Amino acid sequence: MQPTIDELAKYDVRMAAAGHNQQAEYRRGAFNRSVEINNQGTYGIDGAHPDYKILDFKPITDDPRTPRNEDVGYVMGTHRQFDINDDAALVSPGQGSVHTVGGKIPVELYAEDNGRTPAAATLTIRDDRGKTVRQQTGLKFGLGNKRPGIQNCYTPPGGKPEPCPGARISWTRVSDHVDDLRPGTYTAEMTAVDTKGQAWPTIKNTFTVVPEDELAKPKSGQDWTRQGRDEEGRSASADDPGAELDLRWAANTGEQFNLDGSVIADGRVIVSSRAFDSPYSMMLAYDLASGREIWRTYLDGDAESAPTLHDGKVYLTTAVGRIYALDTKDGHVVWQTIEKEERHGDTVRRYGRAGGPVSVFDLQGENRTVAVYQNWNKIQCRDARSGDLLGGFNGATSWGQFHSTAVRQPGSNTAYLHTDSSSTLVAMDLASCSQLWVQNTQGGIDSHSSPALTDPAAGDPKLVTMTASGARGHDLKTGAVLWQSPVGGASTCEPGPAPLTSPAVWGDIAYIASRDGVIRAYDTSAAEPGKPLWETPVGYLPGESPLDDKWRVAKGCTEGPGSPAMHAVVTEDRLYAGTWDGRLVVLDRTTGKRLTEYNLGGGVASALSISGDWVFALTDDGTIHALAARRPAGDGPRR
């Protein structure tokens, strides 16, 4: 591929197409103005809806005052998803939500269609007598953004910073607020129209405004420092926000979230945001309580996974073989490395392929900290403080993506992770960065999961995995399969394979939100651990069943148990999960009973996180939603 790109670089080429694993060869910096923009097919490599792009070359400009062809700027675009038909959501004020007098009530409107573009919306608010008390007309979709914080523009190694792009929001969103409403019950009505004046279905929600002293202010709690929260990867929190949640703030990156995630510490929420329609993948930090953007840092390559936070730095790899460690205070690059870069004359060739999370561990008995990640066919270790390469070993690889974190057995230097697209499970010694054993877990390019360790009251924990071939329990010492459940790996008549994501664990019980639309609980200590304790279908949003789509009906589609579910997280009482049709669902953890759900508009395909009263959910249109527990005044976070 690279010789072809070298030849194209001699000419004024504006677009070339290549396979997924060639993206590192023509990414930013291979030649002037070269960038890569991904396109999702139906085979599931990105765990994203199949899509198309509307590319915009206007940002590439030439100085008309000179005879030279010194084009600057990069191609931009618009990410459009197939199989999205007349989708709309009044995310906030949400149905049944409660807000306080004197506070700004978030207004979050969503509209999307695979062939139409939303232009404007009208929001009408009426009191309990039907009197209109507020009407906002001409609310523009995709217009404006809150002022960004510190901006760390992309800077090539040893080079000068490029200009930062203008901050933008998704074309699917209106973000505003309403204030000065008196106590009472209200109805909000949203109508969105496209560029030709054709309307989306009208949506109505009932909400309540109460005196400020009736509700407790949400508080933060435990840190959430990586996908899975802690080194055991259990996606479990001692905090318990409960089932009654209200949106307190939202922010949009202008790009996308897909298999990304957020980390929480020191009053900040840090997210990775993936760019499906531009070269501007980012990490961003927000104030936890207010949603104010603190900083944003532009990266080289796709930010395909969740970040990891450790000792004042936040870590991530990108698809083109870049490894980043950023300062959590202002987002500047502390260190970065480039995998397998070669220079040939005027061309730069790079053959690294990363994109997965970086798992960071303080070594037991040593004053060293190691960062673990996958680069193509190797599991590699670096000094987390300096970025120096420490070693590595071969791991399975194909043409998928790498989304596994490494999880550590408590009190040891032994860690476990999937290689490739959950193809194998390996145990490794962190101190020597060497493999101890390997077990085939029969993943596939659409498996995007990590292992998790159980938390038994006595004895050693067990490993639990979920891949395209089902859920498994493994022996820690050998990786041997102790039990297996074959269900959950398929979905019913979706436009493409939805992502398969990681188990959550509370005690001996493993919880898996599966792409067949069912959430299941497995007792790993039972006589038959592969038999679910309970199974809960998540159902569909109105209009989102395969039977609501005439084209899928014509193909012979049937209705499944529900929209693909993913990224379960658990507390003592509750289980939270995302769905591909745009919901945050809340279940009783013990019984599996569905308690409530929140329509967030875009698909919830990135990992959830919890801290104190807060639940953070990311939707695929680049919106971070900060939902908080609804508690009476004087009632603090529950643990």
Which residues have a Cβ under 8 Å from the Cβ of 181 and sit 6 or more positions away?
Answer: 99, 101, 105, 125, 133, 134, 209
Specify the DSSP class assigned to residue 363: P
Name, in order, each residue with C-beta under 8 angstroms of 293's C-beta and a sequence gap of 6 or more: 146, 147, 148, 149, 251, 284, 285, 286
pTM of the model: 0.96
Burial 90-128 (b: 16+ CB within 10 A, else e): bbbbbeebebbbebebbbbbbbbbbebbbbbbbbbbbbe
Across residues 372-379, what is the average pLDDT? 94
Q: Using the predicted structure, report yes or no on whether residue 343 has a pLDDT greater than 80.
A: no
pLDDT value of position 24? 58
* Residue owning tokens 């005044």: 633
Query: Which residue do the tokens 């493409």 mark?
Result: 496
**Which residues, 6 or more positions from 400, have their beta carbon under 8 angstroms from its beta carbon?**
45, 420, 421, 423, 443, 444, 445, 446, 447
Q: Work out the pLDDT band at 44, boundaries 50, 70, 90.
A: low
Q: Which two tokens stand for residue 379?
A: 């599991």
d(CA 427, CA 411): 15
pLDDT of residue 7: 78
Residue 84, number of CB atoms within 10 A of its CB: 20
In sequence order, the β-bridge partners of residue 174 are: 109
Predicted pLDDT at 68: 81
Instruction: Name the strand (E) or helix (H) holding 247.
Output: strand 245-252
Torsion angle of alpha carbons 92, 97, 100, 103, nearest 10°?
-10
Distance CA(487)–CA(471), nearest Å, equals 7
Q: Of the given ranges (152-166, 220-234, 272-286, 345-359), which has the lowest mean pLDDT?
A: 345-359
Q: Which structure tokens are listed for 40?
A: 């999702």
Q: Residue 385 has which token pair?
A: 């403080």
- Kind of pairing between the strands at 378-383 and 389-394: antiparallel
Residue 604: its pLDDT value, please? Answer: 97
Contacts of 409 (CB under 8 A, 6+ apart): 415, 416, 453, 460, 461, 476
Tracing tokens 């194998």 back to the chain, one arrives at: 424
Q: Within 10 Å of residue 3's Cβ, how many Cβ atoms?
A: 11
- When the pLDDT of each residue in the chain is averaged and rounded to a whole number, the result is 92
**Scanning the structure block, which residue is given the tokens 């658990």?**
570
- Region 502-521: what's the mean pLDDT? 98
CA dist 638 and 341 (Å) reads 50
Neighbours of 363 (CB within 10 A): 12
The two three-digit tokens of residue 259, written as one number: 């298999």
How far separated are the first and last CA of the chain, in Å rounded? Answer: 55
Residue showing tokens 């919830």: 604
Strands 407-408 and 389-394 come out as unpaired
What tokens were used for 273? 């945001």
Question: Domains in the chain, ordered, with CATH?
Answer: 1-60 (no CATH), 88-210 (2.60.40.1220), 245-629 (2.130.10.10)
In terms of Cα–Cα distance, which of 5, 21, 31 is closest to 348?
A: 31
Q: Which two tokens stand for residue 280?
A: 């501007």
Rounded alpha-carbon distances, angstroms, from residue 398 to 351, 387, 437: 14, 26, 20
Query: 27 pairs with which residues across the strands?
Result: none
H, E, C per residue of 135-176: EEEEEECCCCCCCCCEEECCCCCCCCCCCCCCCCCCCCEEEE
> pLDDT at residue 548 above 80?
yes
Task: Give the Cα separation of 115 and 91 in Å (integer).
Answer: 22
Residue 252 has pLDDT above 90, yes or no: yes
Tell me the average pLDDT across 301-324.
Answer: 95
pLDDT recorded at residue 344: 73
pLDDT band at 635 (very low <50, low <70, confident <90, very high): confident
- With a pLDDT cut of 70, the percent of the chain lying above it is 95
- Separation between Cα atoms, residue 233 and residue 1, nearest integer Å: 38
pLDDT at position 11 is 77
**pLDDT reading at 455 higher than 90:** yes
Beta bridge pairs of residue 407: 416
Please report which residue ranges of 378-522 form alpha helices under DSSP H.
none
